[in-house]
Structure 1
């Protein structure tokens, strides 16, 4: 067994990461409406993040994509804030410190892009994820920033970079 590697997404990863994200969302019973599940970008992740101010990383182990996460400018928001996006891992990737490593890569990229804050949206029952986010400096907000279209995600958090 090899050590998981985190690397920038490649075109060949699109189908695999879309499958991983949908599988995790289904496993966690996340609503299909008003969440990442229905994002049109899910099937074209390489193209979506192949632009200034955005990056997406995948986690690969034994030639298999087991997770990913990225950042991009927060949609419909006037400010220097990025959004942590589509950070999901298959069960086999959880509890190994991969999430923390992914966050550090995303934060470093965000700082390089010149963002001042990082925003995210999640589900109330994703307690392990929220614990990780809090450990990494995120705090809760009373409501959403911008308009991501993810109206079914009622938990909003932010971190100063």
Structure 2
């Protein structure tokens, strides 16, 4: 199959497609519950959210179609040397091709460029495959959340020391 894969920064016109991908993925795994990004109003306005300094969102496209994305964000309450890996979602049609790994690598590299030395994330046990990927990247489990993401429905917290 001849696919044209592109990773670029988010644009305003990506908002709708990304919101659908995020919500479909959560619903697919039974994680569409209160306290998650499923109900977070910023999920519909990711471009606007990621205009904040210290944050960036990368969009994955195949043949010019948005198929997912991931970003880093300076979540309120995190230590200044720590960013959060956020909104890491892919369309079901493209999972298992290495795009997730590529997006995480890109986010880590950008975090280091921004001066972060640690990356934090919050997720759900329903997203087991994602948790396994985070483990392979060297994320370690925490006993409690860091910062104030507002996502009280997430009960898996992980952190990774970045190689600087």
TM category, shorter: over 0.9
1:68, 1:86 within 8 Å by CA — same for their partners in 2?
yes
Please name the residue that 2:128 is paired with: 127
Does 1-10 or 18-27 show the bigger shift?
1-10
Please state whether the residue corresponding to 1:128 is helix, strand or coil. Answer: helix
Cα distance in 1 for residues equivalent to 2:151 and 2:45:
18
1:73, 1:83 within 8 Å by CA — same for their partners in 2?
yes
Please state whether the residue corresponding to 2:66 is helix, strand or coil. Answer: strand
1:43 equivalent to 2:57? Answer no
Please name the residue that 2:18 is paired with: 17
How far did 1:78 drift?
Answer: 3.6
1:17, 1:65 within 8 Å by CA — same for their partners in 2?
yes
TM-score if structure 2 supplies the norm length? 0.93
Please name the residue that 2:105 is paired with: 104
Cα distance in 2 for residues equivalent to 1:19 and 1:129:
18
**Runs of 4+ off more than 3 Å:** none
CA deviations on 1:90-131 (whole Å, 9 max, x unpaired) are 111111111110001000110111111000011113221111
Unaligned 5+ runs, structure 2: none
How far did 1:32 drift?
Answer: 2.8
1:7, 1:57 within 8 Å by CA — same for their partners in 2?
yes
CA RMSD after TM alignment: 1.2
Does 97-106 or 78-87 show the bigger shift?
78-87
TM-score if structure 1 supplies the norm length? 0.94
1:74, 1:119 within 8 Å by CA — same for their partners in 2?
no
